[in-house]
Structure formats: structure tokens, C-alpha cells
Structure 1
């Protein structure tokens, strides 16, 4: 039994499809399974789906098969080019009418608008819903979700989005992506500032843990400090979000008509990580670039 829009979402009826089961996507899909939903996943390398299959997910043979068998299809992949290929060329032609596609990928607002129009042509619906909160937020269901598209469709999706975090409706198609780009401009600046503050504290003879504890309750405190301060100090550079994706997101911000010099500097520093071979490192690894500028090695 299916539950396509606008029939109410129900764990017993609504069939969920999920493509993109990396660090973030895997944690998000797992939360929907834990909430009682039937989830079908697709993975180019089926071996990478072993953990989520053990939770009860089903494995589709192809993205087209997944699209044809689901009421809501979530995507959480890499780059706008990946989204364009997967969603426009593979998923949309296979969707049944009244299916809703939710793209959690950080992508380009113009592409989100194109997907929205193409979905309507198929009598389907599209929501661009990039997220912020990293791997911790994904695992705990505390992501900030920025949703663009039809307000009624976003409201319909609430039972699912509430499992993943807090969804804010930002406006029509593309507005979710624009919000994520603005979010990344703020996050990138915070990560660079935190890196420089930690390095300055260390060079001044301060204990870095004591420094973070002292300042986190004041104006310097931030969610970035909560999520990444300890990780920077302990050299934990495992990725919640890849550094190369931060370069992508900031680059989309620089493509716009707004002059954002701080974002341009942040992009240069994160691009330094990629040039150093650390593109798959977590964004908190930008501290290593600041260290290199100061003549310090990775083990500092």
C-alpha cells in the first residue's frame, strides 16, 4: 500500500527511498528505520550498505527501480553534477505521479529550481533541503534542515523531517540551497577563527582545553566550537563533512552577486586543505592549514 502526496505519511504505508548512505546519509536513513519506516536504499557498492541492511533496510538493484517503488525519495550525494545526473536523468523519469523527492545534498539554487520544474512536469514534487549539523547532528536527529519548495509539501513531509532534525521552511524552490550557502559562509568563517584562536592560545602558552572552556560561554562561543573544538585539539579529523565540499559550497556563494571577502579567504584556506591532499578530511582540519602557514607540522 502506498502513501503518495497528499495522503498522510504513515510508517506502515509510506515507502521511503534513500540514495547516498555515507557518513551523513547513512545516519539519517538509519533514524527513519528506527522510527519504523520501510526504507529502500541504493548503493553503487552494495558492500557499503551492509550496516544499514542489518537494521532492516532493503536494497534496490538500481536508482530507477528505487524511484518506481517509493513514495518519498531522499538523496544525499556529493556535487551538483551528481545531483543533475541522478535526479534529472535517472530518478525523475522513473517516478510515479505524486511522488516527492527530497534532495539533502548541498547543491546550486538554480539546479534546485530546474529539478522543481521538471518534477512538476512529471506530476511530482521536489524539495531542496540541505542540512547543517555534521555527523553528530545526523546521528542524534538534531540537524538544521533548510527547506525550499512548496510550503504545503514541506509541511506534509514534517513527520519524516522531524525524525532528522528541525526543518525551517525558507521559501520557494532554491531557497533551501541559498540558505545552506549562507550557512556555510558563517560556518567557514567560524572554523577559520577557531583554528586561529587555538593556535594563538597555544603559542601564548595557554592550555587549549582550558582556553575553550573559558571562552565558550562568552561571545566567542558557537556551535562550531561545541562540535569541533575538542576534535581540533585531539587531532580528530574524521569527516562529518568533507573539506572539498566546503570548497564547493563557498564557491557557489562566490558565484553570486554579493561581495563576500571573508568567504573568499575561507575558500582559499579550505582549498589549501584540498591541495595538501586532505580534501576528504573533516572541515575541522582547516586548523592544519593555519599550522602550516605558521611553520608547524601536522603533529603539532
Structure 2
């Protein structure tokens, strides 16, 4: 197989883009590519979610295979690992069933590291490349083009993709195939703990008789401050639980972290904080709030305290 089957340059006039997954995050990310002048072919299980992208010039097709045939670089931004497997690997209309030699598949879904490795190997058998590149930054980061992009795969391919990644945020090469997904899991473990701390801090501040906005402004510049606090602090106080990422996705991501086994030595990381956060986010789902944003975790803490 050719070690460098991809083109030597990426330009709006030469590079055809495919995009699959047009939810809150995916639609915003694809919009940046359209605004930069790229030809974008899209597929969505719910075509009504693509109307804004079509108004920007995106071309809607009926199957992932059609996206693959029309594209040099194919992005996916889906919900769960089984969705990725079906769209990329496991059906006659999948991406890899019809991909053009030399193409690159970029999966932005928060998915499983082992699945990312399987896709990488399957892509190489087709003389293509794949990159697992989940993102962090929420809906605001996606809309403003300020996502942290956590990329795993061949380093040369990731560097080659930099002009596209920079339209959506800041690319970070973190290692070989699967490492992007492992990086995102570690990110979610950290985010989950930060959301729990923010939620409990706000509940305590209220019980203590503090003005919550004043508390937020007082502590955000100190050791308690974080990107989570900056992104979600005022939204939580304002009861704005609109999703950038669904709470049920936090259950999925934290669950993958708790299930992943290191290949060398077979050791399992003991993650008591992640386990507690998974239980609490699972409580959101059980309460019927799984489609709220993760910042809605405070509702569980409030219920525990008899406040709802």
C-alpha cells in the first residue's frame, strides 16, 4: 500500500468534503467548512436537521455510501459507538463499502478506542486513512470554532488535515489510532468531576444564603475556576439546560472509561470519582432528563437535597 495516498494540498477548489451527523455539534462544525468555501455532501437520518446547511450550499444525499463516493475527506459526528460501526463499517451502504482510494475518514464522535483501531485497520485495507478526533468545548465551542480537537492516528495525516481542523478549533495530535478516543474519555472524566463540583458548590452557596452570581464571580478567578465554570456557570444559575452534549452521552463516555482495560498487563484503572459521576448522570437519565445538557447535573444534587 502507498504510505501517502492522500493529496498534497487541501483547498476549497480541489478537496471534496463529506459530512455525516448534523446534530447541535455536527451542524455547527460543518457550517464552518461551508463558510470557508468547501463543497460539502451530507447525509442525515433526519433530513430536516440539514435545512440550514443546505441553505449554505450543502448537497444532501440518501446514504453514507453516496457521501463516500462524492468525497475525498469524510467527517462523522454521531451519537454512540454502534452508530459509528453501522455508518462506517457494518452495512452495504457504509462509508468503507464505497470509499475512494486515498480518502480520509475523520470520526468526531466520542466513541470507543478499540472501535477506532478497527476502523483504522479497515481503512488501511482500502488504501485509505482514518483519524479518531473527538472534540471538547460544547455547543459554544462548535459555533465559535473554538473546539479542542483530540486527534489519534497517523501523525502525518493529522498534520495534513490541519487547515480543516483549524476552521473548527485547535487540533492536538495525541498518538496513534484510538488515542483520540482515550483522550476524550479522560477529558470527560475531568469534565464530569468539574460539573459535579460546580453543582454542589452552587447548591451549598444557595443554602448558605449567598448570591449565586456573586459567588460565581468571586471564585471563578481562583483555584476553583475552570473552563467548565466559564461555559456553564451562568447557564446553570439561569436554569439553561439546553444541550451542547446530552447528559446521556456523559453516561456513555464515563461508562467507556470505567470499562476500558489497558492492553499491556490487563490492568484496570480504579476511578471512584468517575463511577460516582456516572451514577449521578444516570440519575438524570432515570429522571427523564437524559436529553438535557450535562450542566443539568445540578438537578440531581437538588433532588438529593429535597429541593425539587
The TM-score with structure 1 as length reference comes to 0.97
Deviation of 1:67 (Å): 0.6
For residues 260-271 of structure 1, what are the structure 2 equivalents within 5 Å?
260-271=271-282
CA distance in 1, matches of 2:201, 2:112: 32
- Report what 2:6 is aligned to: 5
Q: 2:243 aligns to what SS in structure 1? A: coil
For residues 46-61 of structure 1, what are the structure 2 equivalents within 5 Å?
46-61=47-62
1:163 aligns with 2:174: no
CA RMSD, aligned part only? 0.8
1:42-83 deviations in Å (ceiling 9; x for gaps): 112222211111111111121111111100000000100111
CA distance in 1, matches of 2:48, 2:250: 28
CA distance in 2, matches of 1:132, 1:47: 26
1:291 aligns with 2:302: yes
- Report what 1:252 is aligned to: 256
CA contact (8 A) 1:6 1:156 kept: no
Q: 1:228 aligns to what SS in structure 2? A: helix
1:205 aligns with 2:209: yes
Where in structure 1 are there 5+ consecutive unaligned residues? none
- Report what 1:235 is aligned to: 239
Where in structure 2 are there 5+ consecutive unaligned residues? 261-267
CA contact (8 A) 1:151 1:171 kept: yes
Choose which of 81, 86, 97 in structure 1 pairs with 2:101: 97
For residues 212-231 of structure 1, what are the structure 2 equivalents within 5 Å?
212-231=216-235
Q: 1:17 aligns to what SS in structure 2? A: strand
CA distance in 1, matches of 2:49, 2:66: 19
For residues 62-141 of structure 1, what are the structure 2 equivalents within 5 Å?
62-89=63-90, 90-141=94-145
Structure 1 segments (4+ residues) deviating >2 Å? none
CA distance in 2, matches of 1:296, 1:94: 54
CA distance in 2, matches of 1:50, 1:6: 31
Q: 1:264 aligns to what SS in structure 2? A: helix
Aligned pairs, number: 294
Deviation of 1:40 (Å): 1.0
CA contact (8 A) 1:104 1:129 kept: yes
Choose which of 141, 152, 157 in structure 2 pairs with 1:153: 157
1:244-264 deviations in Å (ceiling 9; x for gaps): 000000000001310010000
CA contact (8 A) 1:5 1:99 kept: yes
Deviation of 1:238 (Å): 0.3
CA contact (8 A) 1:75 1:103 kept: yes
Q: 1:227 aligns to what SS in structure 2? A: helix
CA distance in 2, matches of 1:238, 1:194: 17
Choose which of 189, 196, 200 in structure 1 pairs with 2:193: 189
1:247-289 deviations in Å (ceiling 9; x for gaps): 0000000013100100000000000000001111000000000
Q: 2:37 aligns to what SS in structure 1? A: coil
- Report what 1:177 is aligned to: 181
